[in-house]
Amino acid sequence: MHDMKFVVYGIEVHSPVTLPLSALSEGTWDQVLRLRVETLKNQEKTLFAYQTPTVTIHGRQIQLFSNKAFSLARIARERQWKINIEGLFSFSWSSSSDTMIIAYEKELHLEKLSFWLLHTVIPIYLMLKQRSILLHASAVEVDSKAILFIAPSFGGKSTLADFFIRQGHRLLSDDKVRLEYNVKDYFVYPSYPYRRPYRKFETLGEYAEGYSGRMLSFGNIYFLNYVSPEDDCSIELIQGLKKFEILKTSYLYEPVSMSKVEMEYLVKLVHHSVLYQVNVPKDLTRLGEVYQAIVDNEGSR
């Protein structure tokens, strides 16, 4: 039996089980990840001396483990990693291998596996490789460039991205964005063709017909700042310390601390990006104004 192959975040994933995913066969990729699936009782036991505090994501406790101290370089030889998803799966891999072992507890829930793999595990896997910048953001295509929307959780990123899609723009990512620096510019890898303009746990959401599977040049970043329903929609350039702080809060990094390499990446991003604050009225009927303000701002560059 042939493996299922699909491309997410610039990774060609080889899966021995067929996941319920649509239109993921094409896309730009620069590395390969091979999955192996087994039951938890058959998984080889590995001792992990270090672990992060648990965090709750989508109603489940998540924890990251390693065989070496988190303060050490992530690229240390034979570094072992494991992510536990409470009641469902564990995902483990070695820094020297392109294979990820997925162990399930009682039942192999393919839809939940698809969600956790694409939404959480692969972004963490990329982050720990320290080759890319991962931002908690949505991204759409405007004038052949990727523009990003950042905001705190439940801050309207997906809602605004969905509005852009309905105006004919292509989706690159609904929730997490991989940036790669190449000589003079950043490029954005698309994530996967699903959008979630609603809040429901452990689902990738709706299939996005308007999905761009190609890597795009990096455009501007828009920080969504919600204001009173009657206030004006406006856009202002953000610079200096405020820019650094906003980008830092959107940067995905290890739960324990930001490493030196990640800090260097963040500083480079601050220097090579343009950040705007969009004052968004808390009125969904005015999203058209927000859309037009951003499109006009892009056209004036």
Q: Which of 112, 131, 150 is the last residue of a domain?
A: 131
pLDDT in tens, 206-248: 888 888 888 999 999 999 999 999 999 999 999 999 999 999 9
Indicate if 107 and 256 belong to the same structural domain: no
Q: Which of 80, 107, 131 is the last residue of a domain?
A: 131
- What would the two tokens of residue 133 be? 């910048």
Is a pLDDT exceeding 70 seen at residue 92? yes
Domain count, the chain: 2
Confidence bin at 77 (pLDDT 50/70/90) = low
Q: Which helix (H) or strand (E) holds 34?
A: strand 31-39
Q: Which of 100, 131, 162 is the last residue of a domain?
A: 131
Indicate if 194 and 289 belong to the same structural domain: yes
Q: Which residue has the higher pLDDT, 25 or 282?
A: 282
Long-range contacts at 290-293 (CB < 8 A, ≥ 24 apart):
290/160, 290/163, 290/233, 291/160, 291/163, 291/164, 291/167, 293/233, 293/234, 293/235
What's residue 301's pLDDT? 58
Confidence bin at 192 (pLDDT 50/70/90) = very high
pLDDT in tens, 134-162: 999 999 999 999 999 999 878 899 999 99
Mention every residue, 6+ apart, whose C-beta is less than 8 A from residue 263: none
- Short-list 153, 93, 151, 102, CA closest to 126: 93
Question: How many angstroms separate the CA atoms of 171 and 169, rounded?
Answer: 7
In order of 11, 131, 291, the CA distances from 30 in angstroms are: 6, 11, 33
pLDDT in tens, 102-122: 999 888 999 999 999 999 999
Indicate if 139 and 285 belong to the same structural domain: yes
What's residue 95's pLDDT? 87
Is a pLDDT exceeding 70 seen at residue 43? no
Indicate which CATH number applies to the domain containing 274. 3.90.228.20
- Domain hosting 88: range is 4-131
Radius of gyration, CA atoms only, the chain: 19
Helices (H), 24-156: 110-116, 122-129
- Short-list 101, 96, 80, CA closest to 34: 101
What's residue 29's pLDDT? 86
Is a pLDDT exceeding 70 seen at residue 76? no
